[in-house]
Amino acid sequence: MVVPLTRLLKAGPFKGHLAADHVNFFTVRTLRLTIQRAGYDVEDIMSSAFPGLPIRVSRALARCGPSVMVASRPISDFRYPPKAHKHLENGRIVFDGTLGDPGG
């Protein structure tokens, strides 16, 4: 997803931050899945590195550009699955959906 050649560019949208310097990497597919599992409907994913490009080009560049922008909406009735709910009890993490058994 991140193009190492962006390190060679020192002007334009590449001044300041380079996505290649970050530790979190996603493909468009895994980013979409992560956002959906967090309770959002993904409206669009496109490159944010080249402002002013036609939308089709920005969408295509999301797969190889140095950064992306996601437009999403919260799912109104979204609930995390029971296994995702946890609380602290007597200094231990208790997973509500598994009756206190994090492996269950």
Question: 47: domain range?
Answer: 4-98
Task: Please say if the pLDDT value at position 80 is more than 80.
Answer: yes
CA dihedral 65, 71, 75, 76 (to 10 degrees): 160
Distances from the Cα of 12 to the Cα of 6, 40, 81, angstroms: 11, 32, 44
Averaged over 72-93, what is the pLDDT? 86
| Per-residue pLDDT at 43 | 95
Domain presence at residue 103: no
Q: Whole-model pTM?
A: 0.57
What pLDDT is attached to residue 91? 87
Asked if residue 46 is part of any domain, the answer here is: yes
- Cα(101)–Cα(104) distance, rounded to whole angstroms? 5
The 10s digit of each residue's pLDDT in 42-70 is 999 998 888 888 989 988 888 887 788 89
Share of the chain above pLDDT 90, in %: 24
Give the chain's domain count.
Answer: 1
